[in-house]
């Protein structure tokens, strides 16, 4: 049986990925430090079904901690899926940048040191569209300049650069996946769709930063998970955009959510936030060509699933 390590396993994407790996017949060790970026009860719920599976081991641990390497459960792995990070653009300014350097840069470097010593067949790094920054020409290609627009983007790019240099210097077989705004069941509570759906259901005011014309390439979580699985067969050292294939403005997405819920939102417009991008759109030709990545879930279908989940937790 193949063994996989999933970091950030109690998070939105990590929990879905671990479930899929178990279905594919992997033994999975999942690590999460339960960072307090959002409510712990949500993370505990995310791993509820994983904890019932005999092929799953959970470790509550921060990867950057010194005794990380010595844990007996971490003897060997075929592949590592590094999903752990301090997420979110808006919180990454000021003093909080320390948390981002620890969880996104230092933690990634420690994990790469660990992978360097082991015979890992693939090390897949969850990167982000935020590495591109506020680039003017769309869609973003992997060859477009990487000039982040937020401290969070800087930390994710630093992690990606570390991955590449451990590949070039030590042959760690890394693949970096630049995710574009992921949504679906378990989406983080700080993310727009989660806030929109929750606000409408609970009759709470929804804040929109800027005029709502900013566009995003939204990617359904199952498509992101599939990209991780496909990357197991990628040549090492590659970087791929993982997008949903189409973009939609925030305001149009809100209208669509209102239609699906049959209820209007109470909207409050706020100043644009520092670090937020105006538009994102992924060129996914490279991922199609090399790993045969094809996003399958359309926005309306994906939103219906997220709505069902949110109705179940609040």
Instruction: Please state the closest distance from residue 72 (CB atom) to ligand NAD, in A.
Output: 18
Segment near ligand NAD (CB under 6 A); pick from 8-16, 135-143, 230-238, 252-260: 8-16
Q: Is 128 in the site for ligand NAD (CB under 6 A)?
A: yes
Whichever of 35 and 268 has its CB closer to ligand NAD, that residue is: 35
Instruction: Please state the closest distance from residue 292 (CB atom) to ligand NAD, in A.
Output: 21
Strands (E), 15-109: 27-32, 56-60, 79-82
Q: Is 277 in the site for ligand NAD (CB under 6 A)?
A: no
Tell which one of 79, 182, 197, 200 touches ligand NAD (CB under 6 A).
182
Whichever of 62 and 215 has its CB closer to ligand NAD, that residue is: 62
The sign one gets for the Cα dihedral 67, 72, 76, 77 is negative
Tell which one of 28, 81, 92, 103 touches ligand NAD (CB under 6 A).
103
Neighbours of 309 (CB within 10 A): 14
The sign one gets for the Cα dihedral 41, 43, 49, 51 is negative
Q: Is 247 in the site for ligand NAD (CB under 6 A)?
A: no
Rounded CA-CA distance 154/148 in Å is: 6
Output the DSSP codes for 3-34: EEEEETTTSHHHHHHHHHHHHTT-EEEEEE--
The residue annotated as part of the active site, out of 125, 152, 166, 293, is 152
Segment near ligand NAD (CB under 6 A); pick from 7-15, 22-30, 253-261, 293-301: 7-15
Place of tokens 């309306």: 300
Q: Is 152 noted as a catalytic residue in this protein?
A: yes
Rounded CA-CA distance 240/6 in Å is: 19
Rounded CA-CA distance 158/181 in Å is: 19
Ranges within 19-48 binding ligand NAD (CB under 6 A): 31-35, 37, 43
Q: Which residue number has the CB closest to ligand NAD?
A: 11
Whichever of 98 and 262 has its CB closer to ligand NAD, that residue is: 98
DSSP state of 218: -
Instruction: Please state the closest distance from residue 7 (CB atom) to ligand NAD, in A.
Output: 6
Q: Is 92 in the site for ligand NAD (CB under 6 A)?
A: no
Q: Which two tokens stand for residue 111?
A: 């994990």
Neighbours of 3 (CB within 10 A): 16
Whichever of 26 and 218 has its CB closer to ligand NAD, that residue is: 218
Q: Is 7 in the site for ligand NAD (CB under 6 A)?
A: yes
Ranges within 148-167 binding ligand NAD (CB under 6 A): 156
Rg (CA), the chain: 19
DSSP reduced 3-state for 85: coil
What is the helix (H) or strand (E) element at residue 309, kind and residue range?
A: helix 299-313
Interface residues with ligand NAD (CB under 6 A) are: 7-8, 10-14, 31-35, 37, 43, 62-64, 83-87, 103, 107, 126, 128, 156, 179, 181-182, 188
Catalytic residue set: 152
């Amino acid at each position: 049986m193949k063994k996989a390590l999933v970091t950030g396993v109690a998070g939105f994407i990590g929990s879905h990925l671990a479930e899929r790996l178990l279905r594919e017949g992997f033994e999975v060790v999942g690590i999460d430090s339960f960072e307090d970026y959002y409510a712990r009860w949500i993370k505990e719920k995310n791993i509820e079904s994983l904890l019932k599976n005999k092929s799953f081991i959970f470790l509550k641990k921060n990867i950057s901690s010194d005794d990380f390497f010595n844990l007996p459960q971490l003897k060997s792995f075929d592949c590592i899926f590094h999903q752990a990070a301090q997420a979110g653009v808006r919180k990454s300014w000021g003093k909080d940048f320390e948390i981002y350097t620890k969880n996104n840069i230092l933690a990634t470097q420690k994990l790469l040191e660990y992978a360097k010593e082991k015979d890992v067949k693939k090390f897949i790094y969850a990167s982000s569209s935020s590495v591109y920054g506020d680039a003017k020409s769309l869609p973003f290609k992997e060859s477009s300049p990487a000039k982040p627009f937020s401290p969070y983007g800087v930390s994710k790019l630093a992690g990606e650069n570390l991955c590449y240099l451990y590949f070039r210097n030590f042959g760690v077989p890394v693949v970096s996946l630049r995710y574009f705004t992921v949504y679906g069941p378990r989406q983080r509570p700080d993310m727009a769709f989660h806030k929109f759906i929750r606000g409408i259901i609970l009759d709470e005011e929804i804040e929109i930063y800027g005029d709502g014309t900013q566009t995003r390439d939204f990617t359904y979580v199952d498509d992101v998970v599939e990209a991780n699985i496909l990357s197991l067969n990628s040549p090492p050292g590659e970087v791929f955009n993982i997008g949903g294939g189409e973009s939609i403005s925030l305001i149009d997405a809100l209208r669509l959510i209102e239609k699906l819920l049959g209820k209007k939102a109470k909207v409050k417009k706020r100043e644009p936030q520092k670090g937020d991008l105006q538009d994102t759109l992924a060129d996914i030709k490279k991922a199609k060509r090399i790993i045969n990545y094809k996003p399958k879930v359309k926005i309306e279908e994906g939103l219906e699933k997220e709505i069902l989940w949110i109705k179940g937790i609040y």
